[in-house]
Amino acid sequence: MSRRSRQLVLGLAGCLGAGVLAYQYFYLKPLEVALERPNATDRGAVLFRIGRGSNAESIANRLEASGVITDRNVFLWGVRKAELGGRLQAGLYRFESSLTPADGIDRIVSGQVATLPVTLPEGLDREATAAALAEQGVGDKDALLAAFSNPVNARRLIGNLDSTAGSLEGYLFPSTYRLPPETGPQAVAARLV
């Protein structure tokens, strides 16, 4: 290799190295910092639904449009960096304005869906329990009542306690629960028992 060729190769390698350093310093470093910076807007809490099969790109676009994040590229970079694209979970999430993009990604990956505090006082029958749950935003009253009144469901959930029970009447425990608003009637019944 001639001296001129070596100089050309060294010059190109130097330019490439400088380009990589500039990319890291001027592009990746700001993304890293932004990943840990809370959203500056004070919009309060936002409920955000992620549908089954949603990809990182569509989630990032919708998060930015709803004001949960200020830059979709920060979210996408955080997901790609940690190779989490296939682990984003569907559900209804609650995001506060103080949440960082990294915390938001962690919440979606771990499936920390929004929950509602639901209080069921003592003395409610199954119909009043279904009505109280529906009034507090968890489920449809008729669907809940059907789950509480279903003999097959009763045998499955309390058969070891009462094999002749035709419903869950008397087995729906009064307490305060934290339930996702999208919890199905069967899952609500199992939780209350």
pLDDT, one tens digit per residue, over 104-162 is: 889 999 988 888 899 999 999 999 999 999 998 888 999 999 999 999 989 999 989 88
H or E, element range at 94: strand 91-95
CA pair distance 142, 165, nearest whole angstrom: 20
Does residue 6 register a pLDDT over 70?
yes
Tens of pLDDT, residue by residue over 152-193, are 989 999 989 888 989 999 999 999 999 887 789 999 999 999
**What does the pLDDT average to over 89-96?**
88
**CA 39 to chain CA mean position, Å:** 18
**What does the pLDDT average to over 71-96?**
87
CB-CB contact of 78 with 98 (8 Å) = no
The burial of 157, by beta-carbon neighbours within 10 Å (0-12 exposed, 13-18 middle, 19 or more buried), is given as buried
pLDDT value of position 81: 84
Tens of pLDDT, residue by residue over 13-61, are 666 665 655 555 555 566 677 778 887 666 678 888 898 889 999 999 9
CB-CB contact of 128 with 68 (8 Å) = no
Does residue 103 register a pLDDT over 60?
yes
